[in-house]
Amino acid sequence: MAQKPSIPKGTRDFSPAEVAKRQYIISVIKSNFEKFGFQPIETPSFENSETLMGKYGEEGDRLIFKILNSGDYLAKANPVLLQNKESNKLTSSISEKALRYDLTVPFARYVVQHQSEIDFPFKRYQIQPVWRADRPQKGRFREFFQCDADVVGSKSLWQEVELVQLYDSVFMELGLEGVTIKINNRKILSGIAEVIGAKDKLIDFTVALDKLDKIGEDGVKKEMIEKGISESAIEKVQPLFNFTGTILEKISKLSSLLAGSEEGLKGVEELRFICDNVTNLGLNKAILDLDVTLARGLNYYTGAIFEVAPPKSVSMGSIGGGGRYDDLTGIFGLPNVSGVGISFGLDRIYLVIEELNLFPETVTYTSKALFINYGEKEAFYSMKAITKLRSFGIKVELYPDNVKVGKQFQHADKRAIPYVVIVGETEMNEGKFALKNLISGEQVLLDFEGLKAALL
Amino acid sequence: MAQKPSIPKGTRDFSPAEVAKRQYIISVIKSNFEKFGFQPIETPSFENSETLMGKYGEEGDRLIFKILNSGDYLAKANPVLLQNKESNKLTSSISEKALRYDLTVPFARYVVQHQSEIDFPFKRYQIQPVWRADRPQKGRFREFFQCDADVVGSKSLWQEVELVQLYDSVFMELGLEGVTIKINNRKILSGIAEVIGAKDKLIDFTVALDKLDKIGEDGVKKEMIEKGISESAIEKVQPLFNFTGTILEKISKLSSLLAGSEEGLKGVEELRFICDNVTNLGLNKAILDLDVTLARGLNYYTGAIFEVAPPKSVSMGSIGGGGRYDDLTGIFGLPNVSGVGISFGLDRIYLVIEELNLFPETVTYTSKALFINYGEKEAFYSMKAITKLRSFGIKVELYPDNVKVGKQFQHADKRAIPYVVIVGETEMNEGKFALKNLISGEQVLLDFEGLKAALL
């Protein structure tokens, strides 16, 4: 007796209802990407291992899924490594390919490989699954979709302005109000590090400062001192402990705070350009806010940094993020191509929309009507109508078997099909169709044109 | 100096133009699947190895991509197997997961795993990539999409009728005329085997018969005799060597030929039901034909067998196939669930449509207009218009940098963007926009409403 089958941990099956909801979110993101001039590319699910390894740090390398070479993969393996069971050292000789870990590195590889076909600036989007051998937990999976939009080949800050607008546009269309787009700049973080005189303490500093709401000014300062940041340094950035006001007021405060740091002031200037223009062009529903503790992927970004927080009523981490990177393609031998991009977190956005009950009722793939099967003649009569209705794009179906009518009605009900069409001797003789609305219970007798009009 | 990066053999990058064309085909297939009452599901890219192994024969097992376990994968491996380098025997102890090889086995696994949530008959479609470690060659890849529609839980032959209609509907919408949907039935093949008195020679028989057009009746008979089929057996099926006429005439011939085989006659009856109803309901453009040599996946199918040939003007193998299987879910412990399904070959359909020049010109993701960047003030003025145009769903973009105008025009040209919008001092003072059609060269001065109307 076969065991009931299962799927690998951290992976998911998606039912028709789930696919419908996911596709709804993806289609909103896609159409906005295109509205903003981004074009889709797709890359292979697996890359040569050397393309991916070493790009995500040691932890990342560990989490990359490796694909075993085909055929007699041990033939050329080093016998000593096999005997000593040195898994780590053996891997590269028995596995040449690996599943992609994100969309950014494959994109950089794509740009370098196809540079002669691309006219820069290149605005691309990519919506594909990625795989990580992470420990599965609530909301974290081993296979999940990333939805990325990036521009490479231009340092223009108008790109950052547009990416903020793009976030705003997507979340407005999804009906999500109260989304906060947090912005920071890598150069401002460098400036702060300069001011506190401790570049190596920057992460300790931002991590501590981020706790201001939770543990208060005294708590934060205590933690900073414990981490080895001097009291005089902390004094110099005192304004950050009372960092309130509009985004433009905050920028002014930063401007005086970072007066001594050339790089910091450059960051302030960039931030001001972005915030000024976003403000003057106006956002629909989202709020733009400056968060000096925002430091995602510190070593990766070189300019603007973005992160999107869901509405405060939902307890959930960030639903999007991104930033400016000045040398992404350098790792593949094409230096000086600046890029900036953002990403949407599909799974979390799904959970937020589900929790706020914002999926439109029309998001479903269900047929409009089920024709009840009363036997071969009736089925043929029905199929003639079904064939014509489908040619007008109307989703209808015939119950395939002539079984008890109750069972057929139940099937429509369970599938959430709103109408059934009943064709018996009488209807056939009159060239009619009885259409029953399963929600109201109302039933009407119609000719084909009437039926078509009712189901369109 | 980094090497120019590449991708694994048998895989592909898709450019924006290619993604657009692929998505066009997929969207036609999808919308027809839905019109016919099929609902989408998605399954994980990798399955537990035991779900896949042993389902595709020995050759299939070899072609499945295996994923190396994470962490210290050699720890529990058998030292003797390592020492003797027994790749085949070692695999199951260092790899627990594998990339899916097709969509059918994962679908069977899905049905069994989720049987309590499903109300049968279950009509599902699935459009996802699959992976095979095949030797790459023209038109054959190691990663490719399958587009499958199946119904499980009903033996009704109306399903077969609808699947023929579905093929017809998809290919009509794609503009492909002269497609032939070939049909056969596993039971007819069994009947022929009975008549020639040699079950084990059935494949030799159909393979030889399939060459009738190429090597003529004498050639075929010679091959059959070489394969050990007796002359008297060949005489019994003589009508198959002159198997012409309409599909209903062919069915009549089969009916007398198979008079002595109960199973064969059952197949003829099934075929007649399907062909009668398809004929009476009418097809749009496709031709339905009976091909008694059609025997794809002989051990797998139990009833109808389908295969779709492209228009004769294109030299290409089948662009779709499928059939009836009576016990797919049995391998996972759920017996007696009959199913029938068809598949569309995306890559080949793409090549056929490309060769026949049938992709609509509108299949593209290109922006409608590029705003030329003359500097910060002009860019801001442009961005105000761009922001409003996008809110109406119009795809427009700003060239991000204030570089030479010629270079910006060239960019529009290379990207095949049909219009540029020019905003200088004069236009700003008058609240206007100069819209230039890059194809005709015509330029007009418009206010915002005029611009919007021109780009809608």
DSSP notation for B147-207:
EEEEEES---THHHHHHHHHHHHHHHHTT--S-EEEEEEHHHHHHHHHHHT-GGGHHHHHH
Name the residue in chain A with its Cα closest to that of B49.
A8
Query: Phi-psi category of A393—alpha, beta or left, where left has phi over 0 and alpha has psi -120 to 50?
Result: left
The answer to whether the CB atoms of B19 and A37 lie below 8 A apart is no
Give per-residue pLDDT as tens, A151-196.
999 999 999 999 999 999 999 999 999 999 999 999 999 999 898 8
CA distance to A50, A124, B133, B172, per residue, from A106 (Å): 12, 12, 21, 37
Burial of residue B112 (CB within 10 Å: 0-12, 13-18, 19+) is: buried
Interface mutation target, options A27, A45, A59, chain B, most CBs of B under 10 Å? A45
Distance CA B292, CA B191 (A): 11
Two tokens, residue A230: 């001097």
Two tokens, residue A89: 């050292």
Name the residue in chain B with its Cα closest to that of A63.
B70
The answer to whether the CB atoms of B42 and A48 lie below 8 A apart is no
ipTM of the modeled complex = 0.93
DSSP-derived secondary structure for A315-364: ----SEEEEEES-SGGGGT--S--EEEEEE-HHHHHHHHHHTT-S-TT--
Mean pLDDT of B37-43: 97
Mean pLDDT of B83-106: 95
Give per-residue pLDDT as tens, B382-425.
999 999 999 999 999 999 999 999 999 999 999 999 999 999 99
Query: B19 to chain A: which residues are within 8 Å by CB?
Result: 39-42
Work out the percent of chain B whose per-residue pLDDT is above 70. 99
Task: Find the DSSP H helices in B36-181.
Answer: 49-52, 57-63, 79-83, 87-94, 104-113, 158-173
Q: What number of other Cβ atoms are within 10 A of residue B442's Cβ?
A: 9
The answer to whether the CB atoms of A143 and B44 lie below 8 A apart is yes
The answer to whether the CB atoms of A15 and B41 lie below 8 A apart is yes
Annotated binding site of A for L-histidine: 102-104, 132, 146, 150, 296, 300-301
Mean per-residue pLDDT over chain B, rounded: 94
DSSP-derived secondary structure for B8-37: -TT---B-HHHHHHHHHHHHHHHHHHHHTT
Among B20, B151, B414, beta carbon nearest to A119: B414
Distance CA B456, CA B444 (A): 16
CA distance to A442, B39, B177, per residue, from B168 (Å): 35, 19, 10
The answer, yes or no, to whether residue B2 has pLDDT greater than 70, is no
Annotated binding site of B for L-histidine: 102-104, 132, 146, 150, 296, 300-301
Please give, rounded to a whole number of angstroms, the shortest distance from the CA of A192 to a CA of chain B: 29
Distance CA B126, CA B343 (A): 10
Two tokens, residue B9: 């053999």
Distance CA B70, CA B3 (A): 28
What is the sign, positive or negative, of the torsion defined by CA atoms of A360, A363, A366, A369? positive
Strands (E), A202-338: 287-290, 304-309, 320-325
The answer to whether the CB atoms of A400 and B99 lie below 8 A apart is no
**What is the per-residue pLDDT for A297?**
63
Burial of residue B272 (CB within 10 Å: 0-12, 13-18, 19+) is: middle
Query: A365 to chain B: which residues are within 8 Å by CB?
Result: 34, 39-40
Q: What number of other Cβ atoms are within 10 A of residue B205's Cβ?
A: 26
Please give, rounded to a whole number of angstroms, the shortest distance from the CA of A83 to a CA of chain B: 6
Distance CA B127, CA B148 (A): 6
Give per-residue pLDDT as tens, A218-239.
999 999 999 989 998 899 888 8
Strand partners, A355: none
**What is the per-residue pLDDT for A3?**
65
Distance CA A444, CA A340 (A): 58
Residues A62 and B70 sit within 8 Å (Cβ to Cβ): yes
The answer to whether the CB atoms of A13 and B379 lie below 8 A apart is no
Distance CA A253, CA A272 (A): 12
Please give, rounded to a whole number of angstroms, the shortest distance from the CA of B342 to a CA of chain A: 17
The answer to whether the CB atoms of B40 and A16 lie below 8 A apart is yes
Among A83, A333, A366, beta carbon nearest to B4: A333
Mode of pairing for the β-strands spanning B180-185 and B304-309? antiparallel
- Which distant-in-sequence residues (6+ apart) come within 8 Å of A81 by Cβ? A89, A90, A93
**What is the per-residue pLDDT for B298?**
59
Q: How confident is the model at residue B1 (pLDDT cuts 50, 70, 90)?
A: very low
Mean pLDDT of B316-328: 92
Give per-residue pLDDT as tens, B124-174.
999 999 999 998 887 789 999 999 999 999 999 999 999 999 999 999 999
The more confidently predicted of residues B4 and A116 is A116
Mean per-residue pLDDT over chain A, rounded: 94
* CA nearest to B101, candidates B58, B69, B55, B70: B55
Measured distance between the N- and C-terminal CA atoms of chain A, rounded to whole angstroms: 48
In this structure, what DSSP letter does residue B133 have?
-
Distance CA B64, CA B62 (A): 6
Strand B396-398: give its sheet, edge to edge.
Answer: B396-398, B369-371, B419-422, B433-437, B443-446
Burial of residue A1 (CB within 10 Å: 0-12, 13-18, 19+) is: exposed
The answer, yes or no, to whether residue B328 has pLDDT greater than 90, is no
> How many beta-carbon pairs under 8 angstroms link A with B?
306
Among B36, B391, B398, beta carbon nearest to A397: B36
Residues B361 and B333 sit within 8 Å (Cβ to Cβ): no
Mode of pairing for the β-strands spanning B320-325 and B304-309? antiparallel
Two tokens, residue A354: 């589900």
Distance CA A141, CA A131 (A): 8
The answer to whether the CB atoms of A45 and B46 lie below 8 A apart is no
Interface mutation target, options B26, B27, B45, chain A, most CBs of A under 10 Å? B45
- Polymer length in residues for chain A: 456
Strand partners, B434: B422, B445
Interface mutation target, options B12, B27, B42, chain A, most CBs of A under 10 Å? B42
Query: A158 to chain B: which residues are within 8 Å by CB?
Result: 373, 379, 383, 398, 400
Calculate helix-pair angle for B158-173, B262-281, nearest 10 degrees.
Answer: 50
Distance CA B303, CA B269 (A): 11
Name the residue in chain A with its Cα closest to that of B381.
A281
Please give, rounded to a whole number of angstroms, the shortest distance from the CA of B159 to a CA of chain A: 7
Q: How confident is the model at residue A1 (pLDDT cuts 50, 70, 90)?
A: very low
Please give, rounded to a whole number of angstroms, the shortest distance from the CA of A438 to a CA of chain B: 17
Q: What number of other Cβ atoms are within 10 A of residue A88's Cβ?
A: 13
**What is the per-residue pLDDT for B11?**
97
- Which distant-in-sequence residues (6+ apart) come within 8 Å of B104 by Cβ? B148, B150, B328, B341
Interface mutation target, options A65, A166, A279, A347, chain B, most CBs of B under 10 Å? A65
Please give, rounded to a whole number of angstroms, the shortest distance from the CA of A183 to a CA of chain B: 20
The more confidently predicted of residues A454 and B237 is A454
Name the residue in chain A with its Cα closest to that of B368.
A37
Among A37, A75, A85, beta carbon nearest to B367: A37
Please give, rounded to a whole number of angstroms, the shortest distance from the CA of B309 to a CA of chain A: 23
Mean pLDDT of B335-351: 95
The answer to whether the CB atoms of A2 and B331 lie below 8 A apart is yes
Burial of residue B441 (CB within 10 Å: 0-12, 13-18, 19+) is: exposed
CA distance to A160, B325, B339, B375, B431, per residue, from B378 (Å): 17, 66, 63, 6, 11
Distance CA B181, CA B318 (A): 10
Give per-residue pLDDT as tens, A196-224.
887 888 888 888 888 888 899 999 999 99
CA A273 to chain centre: 27
Q: What number of other Cβ atoms are within 10 A of residue A201's Cβ?
A: 18
Query: B275 to chain A: which residues are within 8 Å by CB?
Result: none
Q: Which one-letter amino acid corresponds to residue A249?
A: E
Q: Which one-letter amino acid corresponds to residue B140?
A: R
Distance CA B163, CA B286 (A): 12
Query: B42 to chain A: which residues are within 8 Å by CB?
Result: 13-14, 19
Two tokens, residue B168: 């017809």
Give per-residue pLDDT as tens, A261-294.
999 999 999 999 999 999 999 999 999 999 998 9
Two tokens, residue B114: 């989720």
Please give, rounded to a whole number of angstroms, the shortest distance from the CA of A153 to a CA of chain B: 10
